[in-house]
Chain A
C-alpha cells in the first residue's frame, strides 16, 4: 500500500515537472519566434508589401499588442485547445494542420511499434550469443547503420527499391485527397523503414550492453545455479532488470523520431508536420511554428516521463527506494 502511494507520488511529481518543463519551453519558443528577423506581416506580403498593407495586416494579426499580452493570450489558447489561427492561411491552426499532425504521429507510432521489438530481439539475442559470429556481425552492421544520417539511408532505399535497381515500392507517398496515410500502406514502407534503421542500432546496442551487465550479476548467477533454463534466465530474470536503460533510450529515440520525421517526410513527400514547419518558418507563420514546436516538445516530455515511470516500475531497486 505504502509502496503504491510512493509510486503515485513519484508520478505526480514527475508530471508536475513535465508541465513545468513545457511552460519553460513555451516561454523560450515564444521569445525565440518573436526574435525571428523580419516582421511576419512583411514576410507574408513579401516583395509586394506596401506600407499600408503591412500595417493593415499587422493590425489584423494582433501584432501591435505588447509581447506579454500576446504571450498570455497565446498560452491561454494553447491550454484551452484553441491555438489560434494561422497567420498565412487565416484559418484555425487545427483545421489547417490537424491532419498533418495525425499523419506524422501515425508514422512515428508505426516506426516505434516496429523498431522496439526488433531492437529488443537483436540486443537480447546478441547479449546471449555474445562474441559469436552473429554478435560480431550484427554489432558492426548496427554501428555502420547508426553512423548514417537518415536522409542517406532514405536516398539509398529509394535508389534501391524505387528508381534504380528494383521498382518495387513507391518513391514518394501518395495519399489521396481527404484520406489518411493508412490508405497508402505501400507508400509507408520506405519512410518507416528509414526511421527504423535509424533507431534500431541505438536501442539494440543499449539492450545488449545492459543485458550483458545484468547477465553477469549475482542474481542471474543464482538463477542459473538453481537450474533455470537459459531462456527463462534471459527473458524472466535478466530482461526486466535490464529494461531501465532501455526505456530511456527508447524514449530518446521516439523524441528523435519526432525530429527525424521532418527530414524523412521531405524525402518521401509525406504530408506531415515537417512540410508544415518548413512552410511556416518561411512565411513567418508564427502561430503555426509555435504550435508545432510545442507539439514536438510535448512528445519529448511525455515520452521521457513515461520512460522514467516505467523504469521505476520495472526496476525493483528503484521501486523500493521511492517508498
Chain B
C-alpha cells in the first residue's frame, strides 16, 4: 500500500486496486486450505495476525531448504555469495535511468546501481554514510561546497570526479529531460550556478537561500552518473554507476540481472554475487513465487497477503512505518471551501481509525492533517484530531452549509483512493451532508481537470516538511498544489521563505511550527493516515531492519549491499 517518495510517479502504471482484489481471493483460498490441516506446516493458523516473536523456523519443514534458521533477520555474520532474487510489480513500461524513475520497479533498479551525494540517517537527518560526498558545507544559505569522498570509482573503474558531479547536476537541470532526480533542484539551481573547484570539489550557488538543501541531496534519484551518461536503450554496458551492483542484462517487463560492482567503495560490501530483479504483473504470483522459493524478497506486497506470508514458516513480513499518505483536498479558493468553517467541519467528519482499518487494512498510522511525519521538525505535539460530528454540524450550520451536497472525485487506478472517498462519503452522512464519491477513469482524473477540482484526492510519498511545502502547498510555484494553498491574507509563503533562509535549526523550527499550526487550524488537506511499507522475505535473507523508512525493503537494503544470505 505504499507509494513512492518521489512525487510524480505516473499513476496507474500498475493497477493495484485490481491486484489487491485478486489477492484477497488467493489469500482466502490459502487460508481455507490451511484450515483443512492438509499439511503440518499450516498447523500455525494462517490467520494469526501479529508476527510471531519467536519465528525460528522448524528446520525440517522449512520449504526453503535452508538448514540454518535465524531468529531475527539482522542477526548472523554476513556470508558472501549467492544470487538474490527480488520480485516486484513491474511491466512493459519499466526503464533504467540513474536519475529517473517511472514505476516501483524502476526505483529498485535505480537504487541498485546509483547513489546520491548524501543520505538520510535513520532519524531522517542528512548524513554522509551512504553518500558519495564526504562533506557538504554551506558557505551561506545559498552557496554549498560539495567535496567527494576519496577513491570512489564507477563500476567501469573510472574515478568519480568533480566533472561527473557537474555533468550529473547539469543533466538533472535539463528541463526537456524532466528527470525526477532534478525535480527539487530545478526550482533552486541554474546551470550557471554549478562550478568545479578542483577534481574533488564542486560549488553549487543557488538562486536563493535554501537552508534544507542537504535534504534535497539525500534524494535517492538525485544521483551521480558518469559524464556522458544516458538512459538504458539496449546496451547494459552503458549503465555505469557507483552503486553496489551493475547491470548485466535487462529484458523490459521481465527481468534484469545485476552483478557485483568490482570497484565498490564501501569496503567488504556487497555480499551477493548477483541480484536478479524479476517483474510480476500480479501480486498473487509475486507471493506464490516467494513461497515456492523462486524469489527471496518481494517488494511492496498487498495487505491481503500479509497473513498468508506470516502463516508460513521460513517467511516474514517487513512492516515498516512509511511516510507516504493519501489526501482529500479542498480547494481553499473555491466555494464552499473558501469558508474555513466548512474545511474544519470536513476534517472533523473523518473517522481516522476506521480509515486506517478499512482503507489500509490496519497497516498504517492515524494522521493529523499534517504531512512529513518522519521530519524531525514534525509538529507531533499538536493534539490528535478526532471525529466530532456534532461540532462538524455546528460549523456547517454557522457557515450556512447544512445539508450541503458536493462531488468528491477520485481516480480508479491508484489503490486506496477509491476506498477512501467511498468511506468518507459514508462518514459524511453523519454530519447531515451528502458527499457523492465520483470514482472516475485514471486517465481522465489526471487529465486537464487535475488540480483544478474543488474536492478531490491525491497521493504523496515521504518528504521533509519544507520540501513538501514546495511540492504542494504553494499554489503559485508548486507543481502539485492540491488545495490551492495558501489562501489570501495568509503569511504562509513569507514564513516559508523565512524558513528557507534560516540556517539555525532551532530558529527554523519556530517558523515551521507556526506554519504547521496554520495548516492544522485552517488548511485545505484532509490527511487521515500515513501508510506503512509492506514487504515479504525469506528468512534466509538477513540484514533487513524494520524501521521507519522512505523506500520499501529497508530502502532496498541500500542497493542490496546491507543484505546477505545466512550461513
Contact = CB atoms under 8 A, between A and B. Distances in A.
A269 B281 contact: yes
- Residue in A47, A49, A88, A275 whose Cβ sees the most chain B Cβ within 10 Å: A47
Interface string B1-24: 000000011111111000000100
A267 B30 CA distance: 14
B446 interface: yes
A283 B93 contact: yes
Interface string A262-280: 0001111101001110111
A139 to B, nearest CB: 26
B257 A177 contact: yes
B251 interface: yes
Interface in B254-290: 254-255, 257, 278, 280-282, 284-286, 288-289
A37 B282 contact: no
B376 interface: no
B477 interface: no
B281 A278 contact: yes
Given A46-B11, A171-B288, A275-B91, A177 B251 contact: yes
Contact of B13 (A178, A280, A282): A282
B447 A170 contact: no
Given A171-B292, A275-B91, A46 B29 contact: no
B54 to A, nearest CB: 22
A267 B447 contact: no
A248 to B, nearest CB: 33
Contacts of A164: 30, 33-34, 38-39, 41-42, 291
Interface in B426-444: 441-444
Interface string A14-53: 0000000000000000000000011100110111110000
A99 B8 CA distance: 31
Contacts of A96: 92
A163 B250 CA distance: 28
B63 A177 contact: no
A282 B442 CA distance: 9
Interface residues of A, number: 48
Nearest to B234: A91
A221 to B, nearest CB: 50
Interface string B235-265: 0000000000000011111110100000000
Nearest to A47: B446
Given A163-B288, A171-B288, A43 B443 contact: yes
Given A170-B294, A266-B281, A282-B12, A177 B254 contact: yes
Contact of A172 (B8, B280, B443, B480): B280
Contact of B253 (A37, A159, A176, A275): A275
A162 interface: yes
Interface string A187-215: 00000000000000000000000000000
Contact of B91 (A156, A159, A279): A279
A1 interface: no
A171 B253 contact: no
A275 B255 CA distance: 14
- Residue in B41, B249, B288 whose Cβ sees the most chain A Cβ within 10 Å: B288
A49 B446 contact: yes
Nearest to A86: B92
A163 B481 CA distance: 46
Contact of A162 (B34, B91, B292): B292
Interface in B396-434: 413
Contact of B63 (A47, A163, A265): A163
A37 B15 contact: no
A46 B282 contact: no
A285 B25 CA distance: 29
Contacts of A37: 441, 443-444
A279 to B, nearest CB: 4
Contacts of B249: 177-178
Given A88-B93, A275-B253, A279-B281, A284 B288 contact: no
Contacts of A276: 92, 253
Contacts of A158: 288, 292
A175 interface: yes
B165 to A, nearest CB: 26
Contacts of A176: 255
A167 B294 contact: no
- Residue in A96, A155, A265 whose Cβ sees the most chain B Cβ within 10 Å: A155
A48 B38 contact: no
B284 A155 contact: yes
Interface in B286-302: 286, 288-289, 291-294
A159 B29 contact: yes
A266 B34 contact: no
A48 B8 CA distance: 6
Contacts of A144: none
A254 to B, nearest CB: 24
A279 B252 CA distance: 12
A228 interface: no
B26 interface: yes
B294 A177 contact: no
A159 B444 CA distance: 39
A174 B34 contact: no
A152 interface: yes
A271 B282 CA distance: 12
B253 A271 contact: yes
Interface in A134-168: 151-152, 155-156, 158-159, 162-165, 167
Interface string A84-119: 000011000000110000000000000000000000
Contacts of A162: 288, 291-292
B44 to A, nearest CB: 13
A170 B292 contact: yes
B112 to A, nearest CB: 16
A148 to B, nearest CB: 11
A37 B92 CA distance: 21
Given A42-B446, A159-B30, 15 more contacts: A37-B443, A42-B448, A48-B8, A49-B447, A155-B29, A158-B288, A162-B288, A163-B292, A167-B293, A171-B289, A174-B278, A178-B249, A278-B91, A279-B93, A282-B13
18 contacts: A38-B444, A39-B447, A88-B92, A162-B288, A162-B292, A164-B291, A170-B292, A171-B292, A177-B254, A177-B257, A178-B249, A266-B284, A267-B284, A269-B280, A271-B253, A275-B92, A283-B13, A283-B93
Interface of A: 37-39, 42-43, 45-49, 88-89, 96-97, 151-152, 155-156, 158-159, 162-165, 167, 170-172, 174-178, 265-269, 271, 274-276, 278-280, 282-284
Question: Nearest 6 CB-CB pairs, A to B?
Answer: A38-B443, A46-B10, A171-B292, A163-B291, A171-B288, A43-B443
